[in-house]
Amino acid sequence: MSAGEHLPVLDRIKRSLVGLRMPRAIEILDATVRRIERGETTALEAIDTLLAEELTQRESRRVKTALVMARLPAIKTLAEFDFSFQPSLDRNRVMALAELKFVDRCETLHFLGPPGTGKSHLSIALGVEAVRAAKSVYFATLADLVGALAKAEHEGTLREKIRFFCRFALLIVDEIGYLPVIPGGGNLFFQLVNARYERGAMILTSNRGVAEWGEVFGDPVVDTALLDRLLHHASFVQIDGASYRLRHHADLVPEHIRSKAIIQSPPIAIPRRRGHPPKSGAADQNHH
């Protein structure tokens, strides 16, 4: 005999809904029952509505929480992205990336291009898609990431910190190349990339060609090993366009900044085949 058997049916349903943690269903229960009594809906439709409403609310809560956990700096979507402003960018290719197969395959996706061309926007938008698809996502700038790792190392908790960053199906590392990393930062980032290698996907954005990353990480040995992993199972989206931030001020921008060629040529041979890490020197194959 269950605890609530002496209660009227409606109260028992409410109790069950509380026990099942279905707040939205509780909220609309009375109104739904009244609609059944007035003959406006069938019992079957009522059950359907109750469950669908609960599920919708639960899903939107889940997405909201996961977006906060992902530490996205803003919410940007693919729908908000004006592809006509960036003709060098293949819309179909970006839309195909939004199917997130690269996340399932634990690949690395690079967005390369000058400032303001939408690298952060697109990486956030893919992050939002991943959250909607119930994949765990974490966003950080390279400086923040390296800072967090350095702090953890100082406190003797580097292993835990690396494990934390390995929990996410998709790690977005923004702004590689704006600032050189702190001393030892290249090594810390390498440890993280190595720990995630073939176990999780990453999106990296940079305003500098990959060939220049040696300067960013400041350690040629780490740099080679790092590139080896970041260029393997990787795809590249190069955006050669004008800054969206400056779209109304083109006349104020000096020619050398306005020019589309901050990254003059694709920095490396784009590895389309899987399973063959690019050799050092591969960078030269693509120069015209």
Residues that bind Mg ion (CB under 5 A): 120
Cβ closer to Mg ion: 177 or 185? Answer: 177
Cβ closer to ligand ADP: 118 or 185? Answer: 118
How many angstroms separate the CA atoms of 36 and 42, rounded?
Answer: 6
56: its two tokens: 């919708």
CB of 19 to ligand ADP, least distance (A): 44
Q: Which residues lie below 8 Å from residue 181, measured CB to CB, with a gap of 6+?
A: 142, 143, 146, 189, 216, 217, 218
CB of 82 to ligand ADP, least distance (A): 3
Residue in 14, 24, 110, 119 binding ligand ADP, rule: CB under 6 A? 119
CB of 167 to ligand ADP, least distance (A): 25
CB of 258 to Mg ion, least distance (A): 18
* Chosen from Mg ion, ligand ADP, none, partner binding at 121 (C-beta under 5 to 8 Å by type): ligand ADP
* Chosen from ligand ADP, Mg ion, none, partner binding at 85 (C-beta under 5 to 8 Å by type): ligand ADP
Cβ closer to Mg ion: 86 or 120? Answer: 120
Please report whether residue 206 would count as binding ligand ADP according to CB under 6 A: no
Taking contact as CB under 6 A, which single stretch among the options 10-18, 119-127, 128-136, 182-190 is the one that binds ligand ADP? 119-127
Cβ atoms 198, 106 nearer than 8 A:
yes
Please report whether residue 120 would count as binding ligand ADP according to CB under 6 A: yes
CB of 142 to Mg ion, least distance (A): 11
